[in-house]
């Protein structure tokens, strides 16, 4: 398959654009041990944008999120969060800037109740966002209000996913890195998660979304990046989604 071409408006050499970005990644390289996974990844997300990374399994999308958080063995390049360089920071330093990472594993503690899991992480003193109160979170996730006393392992997969996201919101994070949050969930739960993302976008959260479920991601995202073999091979706005459909079908089997 011929490689796709990155659209000029999304090249990261534009300093005027870069200064407005909540997240600006340039030339990102990342390794697990001696395995070189990311090769010069460039991407950006403005405040209040939902940006989706598309690609096949193994294309480097999840590694991109981990590298932004500082969770890969080695990384090089530039990662600016609200204009601040973070490439040399430990994960806890990145988190303190208001970046919340929701991995596929969710990380729910089995021995704690739903509400105890929710209250576990501390509020972030340096984050720009405002921590959500329990009342706000339960209004956004009514299922969690009903299950607040249930143990983590007794929650359904969808409820655990809601809890993983809600736990981040209580810290005051205003940038979310979400990895395959709809995977394996019932359609009604997927619809709930879509509603939540729209609500967060309306509150100016920045969201970088890795998704295999294209039907879930397509109506939510403002912009898309396509990854192959650890590289960005295309980038376009949602307004151009229709004209990109044939290419995406061939690449992603959607």
Q: What is the pLDDT of residues 196-233, one digit of tens each?
A: 999 999 999 999 999 988 889 999 999 999 999 999 99
Q: What is the pLDDT of residue 123?
A: 82
129, 205 in Cβ contact below 8 A? yes
Q: Where are the domains of the chain?
A: 8-252
| pLDDT band per the 50, 70, 90 thresholds, residue 126 | low
| pLDDT band per the 50, 70, 90 thresholds, residue 131 | confident
Average pLDDT score, the chain? 88
Q: What is the pLDDT of residue 18?
A: 40
Strand runs labelled E in 82-119: 84-85, 99-102
Query: 8-252, superfamily in CATH?
Result: P-loop containing nucleotide triphosphate hydrolases (3.40.50.300)
In this predicted structure, the answer to whether residue 153 has a pLDDT above a threshold of 90 is no
Q: What is the pLDDT of residue 254?
A: 62
Query: Which pTM was predicted?
Result: 0.88
Q: What are 16-40's pLDDT values in tens digits?
A: 334 479 999 999 999 999 999 999 9
Question: For residue 140, is it left (φ>0), alpha (ψ between -120 and 50) or beta?
Answer: alpha
- 3-state SS assignment for residue 58: coil
Q: What is the pLDDT of residue 209?
A: 97
In this predicted structure, the answer to whether residue 5 has a pLDDT above a threshold of 60 is no
Average pLDDT, stretch 89-106?
93
Average pLDDT, stretch 56-72?
96
């Amino acid at each position: 398959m011929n490689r796709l071409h990155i659209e000029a408006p999304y090249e990261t050499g534009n300093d005027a654009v870069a200064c407005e970005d909540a997240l600006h990644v340039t030339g990102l390289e990342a390794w697990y041990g001696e395995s070189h996974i990311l090769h010069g990844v460039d991407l950006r997300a403005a405040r209040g944008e939902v940006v989706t990374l598309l690609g096949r399994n193994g294309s480097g999308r999840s590694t991109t999120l981990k590298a932004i958080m500082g969770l890969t063995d080695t990384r090089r390049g530039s990662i600016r969060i609200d204009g601040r360089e973070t490439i040399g920071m430990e994960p806890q330093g990145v988190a303190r800037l208001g970046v919340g990472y929701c991995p596929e594993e969710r990380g729910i503690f089995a021995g704690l109740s739903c509400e105890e899991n929710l209250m576990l992480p501390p509020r972030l003193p340096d984050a720009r966002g405002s921590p959500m109160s329990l009342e706000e979170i339960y209004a956004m996730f009514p299922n969690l209000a009903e299950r607040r006393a249930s143990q983590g392992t007794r929650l359904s997969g969808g409820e655990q996913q809601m809890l993983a996201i809600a736990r981040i919101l209580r810290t005051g994070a205003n940038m979310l890195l979400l990895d395959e949050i709809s995977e394996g969930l019932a359609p009604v739960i997927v619809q709930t998660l879509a509603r939540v993302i729209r609500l967060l976008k309306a509150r100016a959260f920045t969201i970088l979304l890795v998704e295999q479920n294209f039907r879930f991601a397509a109506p939510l995202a403002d912009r898309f990046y396509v990854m192959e073999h650890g590289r960005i091979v295309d980038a376009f706005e949602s307004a151009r989604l229709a004209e990109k459909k044939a290419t995406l079908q061939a690449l992603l089997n959607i």
